Amino acid sequence: MNCGDSIRVVHPLFQEEDDGSIPVSPLQFNFGRIDYKTAANLCDLWHSSMPYIGSASVCSPCYGAEYKNTFYAIAMWSLPIAANRIVDGNKLLELRRMAISDDAPRNTASKMLSWMRKDIKKIRPDIIRLISYQDTGAHHGTIYKASNWVIERESEYISWDKHRTRPGQLEQSTANKIRWGITT
């Protein structure tokens, strides 16, 4: 077991027997809310680019998908970064990061998006829409298309150099972005 594997292990009250199998379908997962620290550690392990994105007070709710006491996917939500620039921005949640392990079954992301949407609607009835930004240099938007999200806006890359408040901040990506959205 390498260092990253120990982060993935859920510590249940009652240990299940493990037959060594991995999930073959996302329907086998247990989806649920998880703490920020666990989500951030797993995101750092699996995500293509994991910059500093805040804290537990900024990223909430966080979700995980586990099977037989091992995490296979996580997601972190927050109020939109640019809420003041979006109509009803204070009534939206932004998917800040979603990270999935390489050994997760196909369609894990789509199933997780569906499950999270239902849970957010239940726990946050004030939220009217969910949004997420696709980095066109790293992703194709397949999970959003498969989950019936719609393209709301496409933006060309603009440097944030003049808006930086902390020295040493690096650009996460210089690719164009697509904002996807779906009503809750």
Determine the pLDDT at residue 87: 87
Instruction: Tell me the domain boundaries of the chain.
Output: 26-183
Which residues in the chain land under pLDDT 50? 1, 13-18
Determine the pLDDT at residue 44: 87
pLDDT digits (tens, 9 = 90+) for 148-181: 999 998 877 666 555 555 555 555 666 788 999 9
Determine the pLDDT at residue 111: 96
Picking from 79, 146, 59, 83, the residue whose alpha carbon sits closest to that of residue 110 is: 146
Determine the pLDDT at residue 15: 45
pTM: 0.78
Determine the pLDDT at residue 112: 96
* Cβ pair 73, 106 in contact under 8 A: no
What the block records as the tokens of 107 is 């369609």
Determine the pLDDT at residue 51: 54
Instruction: Name the CATH code of domain 26-183 (choices 3.30.230.10, 3.40.630.30, 3.40.190.10, 3.40.50.300).
Output: 3.40.630.30
Residue partners of 99: CB distance under 8 A and separation at least 6? 42, 43, 45, 46, 47, 50, 73, 74, 75
